[in-house]
Structure 1
Amino acid sequence: MRLASFNVENLFDRAKAMNLDTWAEGRVVLDRFAELQKLLGQVTYSDADKARMATLIIELGMEESDIGPFVILRRNRGNLLKRPRTGGVVITANGRIDWVGSLELRDEPINEIAMQNTARVMSDLNADILGIVEVESRPVLTAFNTQVLPAVGGMPFNQVMVIDGNDERGIDVGLLTRNGFVLDIMRSHVDDRDAAGNPIFSRDCPEYYVTTPAGATLLVMVNHFKSKGFGSTQSSDARRHAQARRARDIYEKRIAEGFDHIALIGDLNDTPDSAPLAPLKESTLRDAFTHPAFDDGGFPGTFGLGNAGNKIDYLLLSPKLFDEVERGGVFRKGAWPGSRPKRWETYPELTEPKHAASDHAAIWVDLNI
């Protein structure tokens, strides 16, 4: 059987701020969005809070309207703010109870060729179990599975599952399985919290229990740890470290319960030797990339141009599962290969960076279970 992981970076729609020309530009917008959202959620608004909220609303392009270039402020009931004719924004609410509404990122469609290349990767991987990272929702993944995959000659998966996570941008994690591989049990950790009461996982750390045709149970934990952007380095590192520690604890508990075929897969947003991922390295989990039968194609990374500093996608396997690996590799045909020179073969349709299926390569292993 083949197990794979692929960060698709959304299938149909993606936040406009995440599609800006440079990563730095998008980070500014998303940082402002996150700060404003946190302030708006407070029970009580101080004068300083109100002043900062007004500044952020203006910086996000909503001085004259609730619809900005990248963000929408939805006000359903109550009074949050007023916009004087002389300009500016004045926050009139004294706390969250005074108004009902939400702050949302605006989406825009994914490039059609990129969408088709994403489907080609998912089809050509030929995985029996495929972990998906950065997918909008289960309905979106289902539509992609039944409409876009067949359009490029692919075979739809039998089961499609996404548990709605903590990220409001629509970048969740999910699982697809082929005929004979039955998703029997699911367990979510979306509400696991730290000592301060904050959610540990940026999205979720779902446990998917899949029964193979041979009758074995494979536990797949799909994850997407906190990115290095959108927050200070210190806070981002601390969040990833907490996520790694909690994921390790879940893994070790399942091992103690007798499950010996476990895979923790996905985009962990850091390198194998990084301090934030140390809790996973301290466990018995083994990186499929270190298996003698794994071929990275000469490029150790999984993101961007495949450099070692961009090795951020993982197939971490329990010892018994690691021993069952027959071969593995990195599927880069849908990733932009650079131009001077091209680093790897791509689909003929991939002629510009915007046509890439994703900035991430897909990764896979064949297992004898």
Structure 2
Amino acid sequence: MRIAAYNVENLFDRAAVFNDDSGKHKAVLEEFSELNELFEKPVYSAADKARMITLITSLGMLNRDQGTKKSFTQIRKIRGKLINRPRDRSKPRTIAADGRNDWVGWCELETAAVNETATTLTARVIAETNADILAVIEAESRPVLLDFQKMMKRELGLAKVYRHVMVIDGNDQRGIDVGLGTGSDYPIQEIRSHVDDLDHRGVFLFSRDCPEYVVSTPSGARILVMPNHFKSKFGDQATSDARRLTQAEGVRDIVNARIAEGWEHIVVLGDLNDTPDSAPLAPLLGGTPLRDVSEHSAFTDFEFNATRGGRGIGTYKTGSDSNKIDYILLSPSLFGLVTNAGLFRKGAHTGSDRWETYPELTSKEHQASDHHMIFADINL
């Protein structure tokens, strides 16, 4: 059985800011994240309102929610009033709302169609890896995953794709979720969502969801599979670290509860957005019996080790060990049965020939993802 996790960065539409060559994307994403965090405060202080205006101005949305032609964001307002905008533009704009309960809405990233080559290469990565159980991170929706599979069949001439596909809408206001695809011999038998779990502040615990999928194997084994995508590092560092910490604690508690119930085969996998030595991930990596597959002796990346040194465990961008943020965490029963594991990097762009890439991948615009697929083969 091969199990894998892949952050596809959306399949057909992704944030338009990533297509910008001016290097603005980091600042835009940080401001976008900070603004949404401010919007969620129960009460807006004078300092909060002043900061909101600064961020809204910087993001190009001061005079209209849709922003300017060069904006990468827009304010999606459902109900209530957020901003006072006098017709006379010489007069200052101010925040009308006094807290979260005064209006319903958020800031969202404008999207643009993903480059056709990038979508095709995403399909090639998934097809070539050929996992029996695949966690898809940053999937738009179940219908999109189904459409993507049709495209895989058409473009790659595949006879079959994933028979079972599931995505539960999560809490990310951009509409990016975690999904699961399994082969015909690996049916999804049960589903449990944690999309509405709350943290100690009464805020949704998971940025997307921490779904529990019970998958059966051809041998009759039952595996509890939990795809995850933790809070990114964009925005205020202390705030994002605290968010990932509570998410790691939440997954830890779920895992330990299932172990107490008698579950033997458990997998937590996906993009946890932090490194193995980070404090936010410590509750999960050190507070359960789960083992990181990259610690297994069968985990290899010979080509990367030969050219760059290190352990070859990096899963993001340059692939260096310090960019290890994607995981497959296995219960002891599964970790002991791993026969092969590693990273599939051919869909990620490298400017210095650090690994083999597809011939069509000539620029970052064409890459399937800036994440590298992580996989493990388990003899069940």
TM-score normalised to structure 2 length:
0.88
Letter in 2 for 1:352: S
Is the 1:9–1:135 Cα contact (8 Å) retained in structure 2?
yes
1:326 aligns with 2:331: no
Gaps of 5+ in 1: none
Distance 1:354 1:291 in 2: 34
Structure 1 counterpart of 2:177: 172
Structure 1 position 214, deviation (Å): 1.6
Structure 2 CA distance for partners of 1:92 and 1:112, relative to 1, 3 Å: same
Structure 2 counterpart of 1:70: 72
Structure 1 counterpart of 2:356: 345
Structure 2 CA distance for partners of 1:305 and 1:99, relative to 1, 3 Å: closer
Residues 105-144 of structure 1 aligned to structure 2 (within 5 Å): 105-144=109-148
Is the 2:34–2:236 Cα contact (8 Å) retained in structure 1?
no
Distance 1:217 1:245 in 2: 24
Structure 1 counterpart of 2:193: 188
Structure 1 position 41, deviation (Å): 5.1
Decide which of 82, 85, 105 is 1:82's aligned counterpart.
85
1:32 aligns with 2:31: yes
Distance 2:296 2:373 in 1: 17
1:60 aligns with 2:62: no
Distance 1:265 1:294 in 2: 16
Deviates more, 1:173-182 or 1:189-198: 189-198
TM-score normalised to structure 1 length:
0.90
Structure 1 counterpart of 2:156: 152
Letter in 2 for 1:171: I
Decide which of 221, 231, 234 is 2:226's aligned counterpart.
221
Query: SS of the residue aligned with 2:56?
Result: helix
Structure 2 counterpart of 1:15: 15
Structure 2 CA distance for partners of 1:317 and 1:59, relative to 1, 3 Å: same
Structure 2 CA distance for partners of 1:57 and 1:324, relative to 1, 3 Å: same
1:354 aligns with 2:365: yes
Distance 2:151 2:225 in 1: 26
Structure 1 position 309, deviation (Å): 0.5
Structure 2 CA distance for partners of 1:268 and 1:48, relative to 1, 3 Å: closer
Is the 2:15–2:111 Cα contact (8 Å) retained in structure 1?
yes
1:363 aligns with 2:374: yes
Letter in 2 for 1:305: T
Distance 2:282 2:98 in 1: 43
Structure 1 position 45, deviation (Å): 5.3
Structure 2 CA distance for partners of 1:34 and 1:275, relative to 1, 3 Å: closer
Q: Deviations over 1:209-233 (max 9, x none)?
A: 101122110111111122222222x
Deviates more, 1:98-107 or 1:114-123: 98-107
Residues 309-324 of structure 1 aligned to structure 2 (within 5 Å): 309-324=322-337
Structure 2 counterpart of 1:209: 214
Is the 1:8–1:357 Cα contact (8 Å) retained in structure 2?
yes
Is the 1:302–1:361 Cα contact (8 Å) retained in structure 2?
yes
Structure 1 position 312, deviation (Å): 1.3
Deviates more, 1:282-291 or 1:257-266: 282-291
Structure 2 CA distance for partners of 1:149 and 1:310, relative to 1, 3 Å: farther
Deviates more, 1:168-177 or 1:269-278: 269-278
Distance 2:377 2:151 in 1: 27
Q: Deviations over 1:107-129 (max 9, x none)?
A: 11111111110010011111111
Letter in 2 for 1:328: A
Structure 2 CA distance for partners of 1:336 and 1:95, relative to 1, 3 Å: closer
Structure 1 position 183, deviation (Å): 0.5
Decide which of 348, 352, 364 is 1:335's aligned counterpart.
348
Structure 1 position 8, deviation (Å): 0.7
Structure 2 CA distance for partners of 1:100 and 1:270, relative to 1, 3 Å: closer
Q: Deviations over 1:79-114 (max 9, x none)?
A: 543243233424445566665655332111111111
Letter in 2 for 1:313: D
Structure 2 counterpart of 1:243: 247
Distance 1:318 1:98 in 2: 46
Seq. identity, %: 54
Q: How many residues are aligned here?
A: 365
Distance 2:44 2:291 in 1: 48
Distance 1:168 1:76 in 2: 13
